[in-house]
Structure 1
Amino acid sequence: MKKIYVIHENNEWTIHLQNRLDELQLPYEMWHLDEGVLDLSMPPPEGVFYNRISASSHTRDHRYAPEYTEAVLAWLERHGRTVINGSRALRLEVSKVNQYMALNAAGIETPKTIVAVGKSQIIEAAKSLNQNSFITKHNRAGKGQGVQLFHSISALSDYVNGADFDEPVDGITLIQQYIEAPMPYIIRHEFIGGKFLYAVKVDTSEGFELCPADACSIDDLFCPAPNESLNNSKVGGAKVEALSPKFEILQNYNPDFIATYEQFLADNNIQVAGIEAILDKAGNSYAYDVNTNTNYNSDAENAVDIYAMLHLAKYLATFL
């Protein structure tokens, strides 16, 4: 009998999907790929394989989960199995450089970004960016890992050469143009089956910890606290009172660029994703993150009675 196989490395991020699969009485099996053994001479089982491996796996002591998953995906694809978010999606998940190059190839604007390896090169890259304010982030990250906002080269130098420097797991630091939004929020666009489902407005007034999963609530131990340098910098000088929810699904939202986002996903064989974007003061949109291990916030969904994991479970069932 065919099954739905969920490839992952974090139980906290899969429980809601499991609940929906149970609700629909669908056959499934969870493959937790933080470690394992793979016999390449044996054929895979029949079914549909949904890849949910995250770029932040190393923060949960699953350092080689993406590499092992890449091997498993190569095996599955070699045997012609149906894979949702296959090897190309994984490649983009674990590298923001690959994300930006693919986004740009699709005609989607991203913040100006410089790649640096080595502490002295990070500082030189920031100088060449020639921006009063700029952001550093990890190339292979997740949950806002490594995101720091700086207003001077000297502040960056103190950080890079200090005890608190956060070394990227792949050694690659990105120095990026700081997009100053008129109000402190970003918009995360969710897609299932390559088609737009909904957009979530995310309040960034308390920092850029943007993981929407219930396991990533602000006072939960699964996610790091918001970065202090970002806490002290209100985007565009605006301050949002803590009256509105951090995650809010937008109604009647369908900008023209959604079709371009969908084409980008199709071109890169990505079926399930969240694309995060920010607007500058002139109204220009910049995409800055493609999350192929996208999660959803229950409170935001309950408020509008739409449930992405239910849509996802139904989508996976079409392949059985």
Structure 2
Amino acid sequence: MKLWIAEKPSVAKAICAELGIVKKGAGFNECKGGNVVTWCFGHLLEQAEPDFYTDADIPVNKKGKKIWRMKDLPIFPKIWKLNAKNDKGVKAQLKTIKGLLVRADIVVNCGDPDREGQLLVDEILEFFKYRKSVQRFWVSAQDSASIRKGLASLQPNAKFKGMKLAAEGRSRADWLLGMNLTRALTLAHSTKQQRRLIAVGRVQTPTLALVAQRDESVKNFKPVPFYNLRSLLSNGSASFTATWKPSEGQIGLDSEKRLISNEEAKKLFNELSNAQSATVLKAEKTAKKTSQPKVFSLADIQLEASNRFGFTAQETLDTCQSLYEVHKIAS
């Protein structure tokens, strides 16, 4: 049996449409030629909590969780542990996949064509200790032509091990920073009477810091007038506008090389106004190529749709998802 594991039901549906469904099951479809297609709902597994790695004799709280103690930090797992997400649907689907893996002679990783898509299926195979042949299905769209091309060009899954390791490294880095720093800062800024949770994330925290710094600079912004000097020049047959640029040692400039001195601006204006001629020291003509516009990222198209049509971010997301899954005209 050849088992195809898709990252999401929509991809599984597209693959089944090309393979030809023979029988539908609970969480899988049997297709022609001894093929069986099953699917995930994104990541079905998640990193174990710190309680799994800390000493067994640590006291527990009312909820049965081990209490946080500064002396237990930092927590560095020697052997990383994954658990099924605490969701009935996820656990049922994992049970289905486990049963199918027992029967499978070949597995095809049908995760999305990126690092997370590679890891998402690979970690399930490792979780259930699958050791037989594994292939990789690699497509970036769900239209019939793309699916057929992907079916005809399967590759060894081992070829993509680097992508899996990169995603795994990202996941573990998130865990190490988030779990350890959240506990450390929370404990450092809490008292016996009150705990103040300070959540730290590898991406969340520096991004939030950038937003906070920008918000602070906008709030404390003080407008400062500066001067631009321009001159209309002509050689008798053609005219153009020249912009004054400061030379080295020019006085009256701020840290961004802008002219902020009113006195110096008036002085330069009078000098330039009284000049009868100017010399062009250098002129260049450069041929330039304009590349085609880049395709939209989700953030870019949400911004564009908001500016043009007043769509909310969710409305744009729902529309894009429909174009991708239902109409198959977006990748």
Q: TM-score, normalized by length of structure 1?
A: 0.28
Larger Rg: 2
| Higher share in strand | 1
